[in-house]
Structure 1
């Protein structure tokens, strides 16, 4: 049987294209402190990372509606204020250059709100040909729908794509869509990512070895 040819690469945003999780942690710590919640790295990994904002505030505080929206807006405004001078994950610029050289399609699939996603991408100087926002899809990671939509928009099969994620919920989403997925060790342990189906883990993009089935241009 012929091996599939790689046609597309899909990236998560936060914790994948840039190590933004420490900034999100700080922002959540500030907005949740008045509610008596202490956000340390373990709490962030277990209760916040990779989840949609409405789910986070409903789970942690039982908030919905306007009060939830105000809290989320305050958190995201604080994140954008902190997220100045962002730098890409090591090896990303060279990795994207290889993607261009190979003639591959690429895009970003994220649970981040639209304003945050645009802020981070602009700060990194990136203009992905495809941007799939969970809030516009109607279901976020770990549901596979955001990645399924990305595949449809690019016109590629799951086995013709690669995905890069940094959270267990993100890995579960991409793997659930049938995409071979690699985990970045920016916020979670390797075991947690492998357990959700990651094909391998890397600290950054300098460590990635292109699969054998990749067709060179």
Structure 2
């Protein structure tokens, strides 16, 4: 299995999405948003298709401006109170371990408290750089999260590889000028637009070296 040319490139940093890329939080997310939708009179089918979008942006789609602050506080409360069933996705722990001494970061649409709660619940050893939706003016699909992650690592976004599972997250990465590797964990392969696509992180390995980081197909 090749990686459509990614294996021939050298990167200064790897930037990971979190939910759906490193951890499977699907059940917890669904439970929280399903309850929120019932409480706010939103039909369940209207909640679909928002993978990778910050909660504040989703709330803004359904509630008038004077109710949004309360709506955001409520979904944050629901998500923070439910981290049951989180699981580390295949290859995620190994990927982070391989990059422990190399520049890498997580850029997530979660808020900082929720990101820390999910990381703790999963048991992952997270990178030191963690960019969350409450740290940027515009969340995904805007490029801001990945631009800030690259800035904090002191690297050029054009020399970063982003690992994502969601179309809007990939859109954010491309807008930031990053190379993209998609994992087919939450979205059908044909809906993912990336430089290379794999089933999950167990299908690749990261190799830091003196000149940078390479990504290879797993043996």
TM-score range relative to shorter protein: 0.7 to 0.9
Structure 1, residues 126-165: CA drift from partner, whole Å, max 9, x if none? 3321011232221111111221121122121234221111
Counterparts in 2 of 1:202 and 1:45: CA distance versus 1, 3 Å: farther
| Map 1:127-206 → 2, pairs under 5 A | 127-194=126-193, 198-206=194-202
Secondary structure of the corresponding residue to residue 82 of structure 1:
coil
Equivalent residue number for residue 59 of structure 1: 61
Query: Which consecutive residues of structure 1, in runs of 5 or more, have no partner in the other structure?
Result: none
Query: Could you say which structure has the higher helix fraction?
Result: 1
Choose between structure 1 and 2: higher strand proportion.
2
Q: TM-score, normalised by structure 2?
A: 0.82
Q: Which residue of 2 aligns with 1:120?
A: 118
Q: Flag structure 2 segments of 5+ consecutive residues without an equivalent.
A: 1-7
CA 1:34–1:171 in 2, change beyond 3 Å: closer, same or farther? same
With over 3 angstroms needed to count, the CA separation of the structure-2 counterparts of 1:53 and 1:180, relative to structure 1, is: same
Which of residues 25, 31, 56 is equivalent to 1:26? 31
CA positional deviation for 1:52? 2.1
CA deviation string 1:34-86 (max 9, x = no partner): 4443325xx5442x22222222122123x224x32222222222223321352
